Amino acid sequence: MEILVTALQEAWRLIISRDPVLFEIIGLTLRVTGSALLFAVVLGLPIGVFLGLRSKESKLGCLAPIINTGMGLPPVVAGLLVFILLSNQGVLGDLQWLFTPRAMIVAQTIIAWPLVIGLSLTAIRSVDDQLAVQLTSLGATRWQLALTLVREARLGIMAAVIAAFGRIIAEVGAVILVGGNIAGETRVLTTAIVLETRKGNFGLALALGLILLILALLANIVLHRLQHEGRHA
Amino acid sequence: MSAQYVLSDLTKTYAERSVLNIADLSIQSGEILALVGPSGAGKSTLLRLLNFLEFADDGQLIFDQQVVTPDLPLAQRRRVTMVFQSPALLKRSVLGNLKYGLQLRGETASKAELLAHLDQVGLADLAQQPATKLSAGEAQRLALARALVVKPDVLLLDEPTANLDPYNVGLIEDILQKNNAARGTTVVLITHNVFQAQRIAQRTGLLVNGKLVEIAPTALFFEAPVEQATRDFVAGKLVY
C-alpha cells in the first residue's frame, strides 16, 4: 500500500513539475501509438469491410482462422519479424529504420492491423443480412451499400479502433525489440516502466504505469464519446 | 395497358431444385396483381426476379420492353422498389430512413414534402424518432413510405401485412390503392390473405410448386376458377 501511495505522489510530482523527460516520453508514446493506430485503421478497415460484405455472400474459407490468429499475434513475434526485416541484412535494411520510432510504428501497426480487420469484419457481418437486400432493392449500388453498412456498423467499428488502441498502447515486447528503449529517441512509457523496474525504482515505474493508465483512460473516453455520438447520429 | 413485365419460360433453380418455372406471364402496367399460393410455391423468388435482385437460370424476363440481364442499367433497376415481410430499417430517424432512397438517387425533397409522405402513412409525428423504436406496424408503414417516396413505376410487396393488426392492414391497403390510382404504379402483391387479394387486386394468380396454375381477374379467380387446384385453394384446402 505504501508503495502505491509513493507512486501516486511521484506521478503527481512528475506531472505538475512538467518533467521534460516524462513529457518527451508521453509525446513519443502518443505519436507512435497514434500513428500505428492510424495506419492500422487506414490499411485494415477497407479490408475488414470488404471481407465483411463478402462473408454475407460466401464463406471466407481459410481467411477467417488466419485473421483470428493474427488478432492474437504475440507482440514479441511481430517485433522479431520487423527486426529481421529492418536489420542490416534484412530485406528493408537499407531504410535504416531499426531503433527508430518508425520501426516501432511498423511493429505496432502489424499488431493492430489484424485486430482492426477482424473486428470491423465482425461488425459488418453483424448487420442484419436483410438490410443489405432491402437497401439494394431501394436502388443502392454496391458502393453505396458498402458505405451505408459501414455507417450502420459504426459502433462495432469504433469498438475495433478502441480495442486496437488498447492493445498497442500497452504493448512492450515489440517496441523494446525494434526501438531499443534509447533515451530521448525511442523510449516510450512501457519501455520506461521496464527499465525503471529493472533498476529497482518501483515507485517511479508504478508512477509511469499510472500515467500510462490515465492516458489510456483519456483516449478511451474520447473514443467512447465518438462512439456515443455515433449511436445517436 | 402495356406490359410492364413479360415472362417467358422463366426458370430458377437452387441447389438443383427447381423453385420457379413460369411458362408465360404478362404483368400489365398500372395494375394491381396479387399472387397467392402455399408456402414454398416460389412467390418470393418471383418477386426477387422482378426486383432484379436475382436473375433467371433460363428463359426470358422483359421489363418495359427491355430484356433483363445482370447488366440492366441502374436507372431501370431503380424504377422498381420492394416492401418485404419484415422491414429492415436503418439506425437513423424515421425521416432519415424515408430520405435514404432519394439520397441514393442524388435527389432532394423539401421537409414539407417528406412530412407529407410520412403523414400519408400516419408517421409525421414520429419524424425525428429513431426508426428502431417503431412498432411492427409503424415500421412496415415506414418501409412502404420509403419505397414510395422515390416514385417507383413498380412496387413489389412480399406479404407486407402478414404480421400486422387490422388497423395497419387497412391503412396499408388504402395507401396502395390510392397510390395506384394517383400515379398508376404497377403493384405486385404476394399475400396469404385471400380476402386481401379480393379487396385490392384487379387480377389474382395462383402459384404452386413454382408454376403459375391460373391467373384471372380477381372476381373470376375467386368465383369461377377454372383449375381444380385454384378451386381447392379458394375453398381453403391444402394445395401441393
> pLDDT confidence of A220, banded at 50, 70, 90?
confident
Smallest CA–CA distance from B99 into chain A, residue: A138
Closest-CA residue to A67 (of A56, A53, A52, A81): A52
Smallest CA–CA distance from A136 into chain B, residue: B53
What span, in angstroms and rounded, lies between the C-alpha atoms of B176 and B180? 6
* Contact between chains at A138 and B51 (C-beta distance less than 8 A): no
Smallest CA–CA distance from B130 into chain A, residue: A232
- Would you say A119 and A163 are in contact if contact means Cβ atoms under 8 Å apart? yes
What span, in angstroms and rounded, lies between the C-alpha atoms of B151 and B97? 15
Residues of B with CB below 8 A from A128's CB?
Answer: 88
Shortest distance, CA A149 to any CA of chain B (angstroms): 9
* The pLDDT value given to residue B237: 78
Per-residue pLDDT for B239 more than 70?
A: no
Strand-pair partners of B14: B17
Per-residue pLDDT for A154 more than 60?
A: yes
Terminus-to-terminus CA distance in chain B, angstroms? 33
Per-residue pLDDT for B38 more than 80?
A: yes
Closest-CA residue to B81 (of A141, A129, A139): A139
CA B165, B171, B176 angle in degrees (round to 5)? 125
What span, in angstroms and rounded, lies between the C-alpha atoms of B10 and A129? 27
* Contact between chains at B87 and A144 (C-beta distance less than 8 A): no
* The pLDDT value given to residue A203: 78
Smallest CA–CA distance from A154 into chain B, residue: B91
Partner residue opposite B101 with nearest CB, options A130, A133, A139: A139
* The pLDDT value given to residue A61: 82
Summarize pLDDT for A193-203 with one digit per residue, the tens: 999 999 988 87
Burial annotation B113-147 (CB, 10 A radius, 16+ → b, else e): ebbebbebbbbeebbeebbeebeebbbbbbbbbbb
User: Region B202-222: what's the mean pLDDT?
Assistant: 96
Per-residue pLDDT for B238 more than 70?
A: no
* The pLDDT value given to residue A21: 87
B132 and chain A: CB distance < 8 Å anywhere?
A: no
> pLDDT confidence of A228, banded at 50, 70, 90?
confident
Q: Domains for chain B: give ranges and CATH numbers.
A: 3-86+153-234 (3.40.50.300)
Considering Cα of A120, then A122, then A123, then A125, what sign does the dihedral take?
Answer: positive
Residues of A with CB below 8 A from B146's CB?
Answer: 138
Summarize pLDDT for B153-199 with one digit per residue, the tens: 999 999 999 878 898 899 999 999 999 999 999 999 999 889 999 99
B147 and chain A: CB distance < 8 Å anywhere?
A: yes
What count of other Cβ atoms lies within 10 Å of the Cβ of residue B11?
Answer: 15
Strand ranges of the sheet holding B66-67, from the earlier edge strand across to the other edge:
B17-28, B3-14, B58-63, B66-67
Shortest distance, CA B20 to any CA of chain A (angstroms): 20
* Contact between chains at B146 and A138 (C-beta distance less than 8 A): yes
Shortest distance, CA B76 to any CA of chain A (angstroms): 10
Residues of B with CB below 8 A from A135's CB?
Answer: 100
* The pLDDT value given to residue A33: 96
Residues of B with CB below 8 A from A140's CB?
Answer: 104
Partner residue opposite A128 with nearest CB, options B77, B88, B105: B88
Residues of A with CB below 8 A from B143's CB?
Answer: 134
Q: Report the domain count for chain A.
A: 1
Partner residue opposite A144 with nearest CB, options B82, B90, B104: B104
Interface of A with B in 83-122 (CB under 8 A): none
Write the secondary structure of A36-52 as one string of H (helix), E (strand) and C (coil).
Answer: HHHHHHHHHHHHHHHHH
Partner residue opposite B51 with nearest CB, options A130, A135, A137: A137
If you compute the radius of gyration of chain B from its CA atoms, what whole number of angstroms results? Answer: 18
Summarize pLDDT for B136-145 with one digit per residue, the tens: 999 999 999 9
* The pLDDT value given to residue B16: 85
Per-residue pLDDT for A233 more than 80?
A: no
* The pLDDT value given to residue B135: 94
Position A226, amino acid: L
Question: Which has more pLDDT, A233 or B117?
Answer: B117
Which residues, other chains included, contact B105 with Cβ-Cβ below 8 Å and sequence gap of 6+?
Answer: A139, B78, B150
Shortest distance, CA A31 to any CA of chain B (angstroms): 34
- Residue spans of beta strands (DSSP E) within chain B: 3-14, 17-28, 32-36, 58-63, 66-67, 80-83, 154-158, 186-190, 203-208, 211-217
CATH code, domain carrying A45:
1.10.3720.10
Summarize pLDDT for B146-166 with one digit per residue, the tens: 999 999 999 999 999 987 889
Summarize pLDDT for A72-130 with one digit per residue, the tens: 999 999 999 999 999 999 999 999 999 999 999 999 999 999 999 999 999 999 999 99
Smallest CA–CA distance from A153 into chain B, residue: B91
B78 and chain A: CB distance < 8 Å anywhere?
A: yes
Residue whose cell numbers read 488478432: A71
* The pLDDT value given to residue A58: 76
Measured between alpha carbons, how far is residue B7 from residues B21, B191, B215, B226 in Å? 10, 20, 14, 22
Q: Provide the residue count of chain B.
A: 240
* Contact between chains at B82 and A137 (C-beta distance less than 8 A): yes
Position A167, amino acid: R
* The pLDDT value given to residue A230: 61
SS3 A89: coil
> pLDDT confidence of A231, banded at 50, 70, 90?
low
SS3 B102: helix
Q: What is the DSSP pairing of strand B154-158 with strand B80-83?
A: parallel
Q: Which domain holds residue A169?
A: 2-232
Summarize pLDDT for A1-24 with one digit per residue, the tens: 787 788 788 878 888 888 888 889
Interface of A with B in 134-163 (CB under 8 A): 134-141, 144, 148, 152
**Where does B153-217 have alpha helices with state H?**
166-183, 194-200
* The pLDDT value given to residue A63: 87
